[in-house]
Amino acid sequence: MKDLDGKVAVITGGAGGIGRAMGIRMAEEGMRICLSDLDEARLAATVAELRETGMDVIGVAADVSELSSVEALRDATISHFGVVDVVCNNAGVASGAHGRLWEHEINDWRFAFSVHVYGVINGINAFVPYLIDRGVETHVVNTSSNNGGFAPIAMSPTYATCKAAVVTISECLWGQLHEIDAKVGVSVLFPTGRTKGVLDTGIWAAAERPPGYEAAAPIDHTNKMAGWIASMEAAGTPVAVTPLSEVADQVVDGLYANRFWMVEEGRFEESVKQRADIMLRRADPLYQLG
C-alpha cells in the first residue's frame, strides 16, 4: 500500500501481544484501528490505555472461530469508521496439548484448528469479498509462525500443523486474488524482530478452552516463558527478549512494500535452505526446529 495515513485496520487477537503492538505501530502511520479479541476485559483495558495516548482506536469483542462473530466485527468496524482497509488475522492460542501426537485428544486438534485455521478462514470469508468490491488498495495479513510455517517443532504438532496451514491458505489466497487482478494484497507474517530472542506475549500460557473443546486431561495454564528463559540461562545460553515493536515494524514495512513474506531478513534462512535441500535429496526430516 502506498499510503497508510487515515486507513482503517482491523486486528484480531489485538488485546495484547503482537496484535496490540501492530495496532500501536499502524497508528503511528496515521491509521485508525479496530482491535478485536475474545478476551473482553483485556481488550477494554488495552483500548482505554491506548486512547489515553491519543490513538484513534476502538475495541470490538469477537470470536474468530465463529464466522458470524467475525462478520459482526466487520459490520461494527464499518459502522464506526466507514471502511476497512487492512485486516490482520492474528488471533492465536497455545492449546495446552502435550504429549505424543498419537496420544493427543481430538479436542486438542479441534481447539487449535478452531482458532488458528478457522480463525483465518473466517477472516477471509467475512472481509475479502468486501475488500474486493471496494476496488481500492487493501491488504490481508495472516499470522503464521516459524514453528510450522518454515519447519515444525515436533513436540507441538497441533500448533505447527495449524501454522503450516496458514501459510498455504495465504499462498492460495494470493494466487487467486492475483488471478482476478484484485487490488487486495496478501501477506503471511512470521513474527520475528531485528533482535534475536523470545517474544513476551500471552501465548506462553495455555488458553482456557471454550465449551465443546474441553480436554479430558487437566491443562497447566501457567506462563512458561520465565521458566524457559531460566533453563536456557542455566544451560549457558542467555535469551534476549525481542521488542514487539520490532515485529510491528516488519508488518508496516511489509504493507508499504506489498511484501507477501513478512519475515525479518536473514532469519530462518538456514532452516528454509536445509529443508529444501533435504526434500530434494529425499533424506530424513532432520530440519525440525527446537
Contact letters for ligand NAD, residues 40-79 (x by CB under 6 A): --x-------------------xxxx--------------
Looking at the Cβ atoms of 269 and 277, the one nearer to ligand NAD is 269
Q: Tell me the CA end-to-end span of the chain in Å, nearest whole number.
A: 35
State the catalytic residues. Answer: 159
Residues numbered 99-128 forming contacts with ligand NAD, rule: CB under 6 A: 115
Binding mask 130-169 for ligand NAD (x = CB under 6 A): -------------x-x------------------------
> d(Cα 55, Cα 3) in Å, to the nearest integer?
18
151: β partners: 147
Distances (CA, A) of 250 to 135, 239, 263: 26, 21, 7
Q: How far is the CB of 208 from ligand NAD (least distance, A)?
A: 9
Whose grid coordinates read 483465518? Answer: 120
**Is residue 193 within the footprint of ligand NAD (CB under 6 A)?**
no
Asked if 249 interacts with ligand NAD (CB under 6 A), we say: no
Contacts (Cβ under 8 Å, ≥6 apart) of 92: 13, 115, 116, 119, 143, 203
Residue among 16 and 185 whose Cβ is closer to ligand NAD: 16
Q: Which residue has cell 519475515?
A: 263
**Spatial distance between the Cα atoms of 201 and 20, rounded to a whole number of angstroms:** 10
Note the residues at the interface with ligand NAD (CB under 6 A).
Answer: 12-13, 15-19, 37-39, 42, 62-65, 90-93, 115, 143, 145, 191, 199, 201-203, 207
